[in-house]
Structure 1
Amino acid sequence: MKKITTSFYDILGISSATVCLVHCLIFPLLTILPLGLSHNPFIDLLFASVGLFAILKIIKKSSLLVSSILIVSMVLIWMSVLSELLFEIHLDLIYFGGIGMIIGHLINYKLHKKPNH
């Protein structure tokens, strides 16, 4: 059985965070068009769950800087998602969390791509 590498989880995290960020930025613009679309916070919950899975696999093997960036970003995302689910309050923290997730995964990916001497 092949062991999944940390770079796979970084790519998963980068992809998930990017799609989530695009969703969060573009979707409000789509709701003003008469397409009958409405916001569903469970989509945000899905993205947050995929991101949480990815960072739980990564933080055990990454540097303190990368782990800190990923954990703080994930906390911001979950605060925003839960406030929307429970209180129907939209917080802009999700944007900062998404950007932080992308940055954290990119740093971790680049650190693991360097040859170990």
Structure 2
Amino acid sequence: MKKTSIHLYDILGISSATVCLVHCLVFPLLTILPLGLSHNPFIDLVFAIIGSFAILKIIKKSNLLVAAILVISMALIWISVLSELFLDIHLDLIFIGGIGMIIGHLLNYKLHKNKNH
């Protein structure tokens, strides 16, 4: 049962981080088109909350390297999201954090998969 829950949190984290990264990379291109779209930092906040939930569950059972990658990546994402929400400053730290989240979750998934097989 525990193995499944760890895998579910990794899958949730990988999915959320990937969708967030795609959103952050593609959305600025869509705002150039005359579609009337504007960036909403609350979407980034939703991704950050989902990612935080996933890593809080994972870091308790992961090794130090994976935990460090996930925590640092999440911190970079939160710094970027909060600076955009409160200071209206867009930081590119969100891209680095998103890539770090994907790497951290993939590493954790592989380490648990190798340990259990």
Specify if TM > 0.5.
yes
1:55-92: CA deviations, max 9, x gaps?
00000000000000000000000000000000000000
CA distance in 1, matches of 2:93, 2:107: 21
CA distance in 1, matches of 2:79, 2:115: 37
Q: TM-score, normalised by structure 1?
A: 0.95
Which structure 2 residues correspond to residues 30-109 of structure 1 after superposition, within 5 A? 30-109=30-109
Which structure has the highest helix share of the two? 2
CA distance in 2, matches of 1:38, 1:90: 14
Runs ≥4 residues deviating over 6 A? none
Give the residue type in structure 1 aligned to 2:33.
L
Give percent identity, aligned residues only: 78
CA distance in 1, matches of 2:115, 2:28: 43
CA distance in 1, matches of 2:7, 2:108: 8
Q: Structure 2 unaligned runs (5+)? A: none
RMSD of Structure 2 on Structure 1 (CA): 1.3
Which structure 2 residues correspond to residues 3-14 of structure 1 after superposition, within 5 A? 5-14=5-14
CA distance in 1, matches of 2:115, 2:46: 34
Q: Secondary structure at the match of 1:55?
A: helix
CA distance in 1, matches of 2:42, 2:116: 41
Q: Structure 1 unaligned runs (5+)? A: none
Q: TM-score, normalised by structure 2?
A: 0.95
Quote the offset at 1:116 in angstroms. Answer: 4.1
CA distance in 2, matches of 1:96, 1:11: 19
Q: How many residues align?
A: 116
CA distance in 2, matches of 1:101, 1:81: 15
